[in-house]
């Protein structure tokens, strides 16, 4: 049983997952700092309201603190936008740049009669015996 547990721990995907969680935790602090220190003050300068947490309304003596929800919603949107524009888009562009497929000349053509693939130099289709020009 201990041997199986050791195999489980040192399996590649478990170690990769552990590394991903640690890197994700470290990266989340960077994104949180970007949102809290740069993007939120910029939005507050435009909206002239630095914090919405004091907004509330009262119904029958119950206090509804909708401002905290607004803060959380704005924070979520800013974090999602930050990750998309500063991580996802550049990574997609980088991957697309290195994944260019080479231009390979075709070695086959389609038979006009049966639509099967045949070599370019073939005079007759091997599937339907049609003469290929």
pLDDT tens-place string over residues 97-121: 887 766 677 788 888 888 888 888 8
Look at residue 94 in the predicted model and tell me its pLDDT.
87
CATH number, domain of 92, equals 1.10.1200.120
Contacts 24+ apart (CB under 8 A), 29-35: 31/79, 31/82, 31/83, 32/79, 34/82, 34/86, 35/75, 35/78, 35/79, 35/82
Which residues of the chain, if any, have pLDDT below 70?
9, 12, 50, 101-103, 133
Structural domain containing residue 85: 2-98
Q: Are residues 89 and 45 in the same domain?
A: yes
Q: Are residues 25 and 88 in the same domain?
A: yes
CA distance 107 to 49: 66
Domain count, the chain: 2
Q: Are residues 52 and 94 in the same domain?
A: yes
Q: Are residues 70 and 116 in the same domain?
A: no
Q: Are residues 12 and 52 in the same domain?
A: yes
Q: Are residues 54 and 91 in the same domain?
A: yes
Q: Are residues 59 and 79 in the same domain?
A: yes
Q: Are residues 82 and 55 in the same domain?
A: yes
Enumerate residues 6+ apart whose C-beta is below 8 A from 64. Answer: 56, 57, 58
Look at residue 125 in the predicted model and tell me its pLDDT.
85
Give the angle subtended at the CA of 125 by the CAs of 124 and 129, to the nearest 5°.
80
Q: Are residues 112 and 87 in the same domain?
A: no
């Amino acid at each position: 049983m201990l041997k199986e547990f050791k195999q489980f721990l040192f399996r590649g995907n478990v170690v990769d997952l552990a590394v991903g969680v640690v890197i994700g935790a470290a990266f989340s602090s960077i994104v949180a700092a970007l949102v809290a220190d740069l993007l939120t003050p910029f939005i507050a300068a435009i909206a002239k309201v630095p914090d919405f947490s004091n907004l509330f309304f009262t119904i029958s003596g119950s206090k509804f603190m909708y401002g905290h929800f607004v803060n959380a919603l704005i924070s979520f949107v800013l974090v999602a936008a930050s990750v998309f524009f500063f991580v996802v888009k550049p990574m997609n562009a980088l991957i697309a740049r290195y994944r260019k497929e080479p231009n390979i000349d075709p070695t086959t053509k389609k038979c006009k009669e049966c639509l099967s693939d045949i070599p370019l130099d073939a005079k007759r289709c091997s599937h339907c015996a049609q003469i290929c020009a």
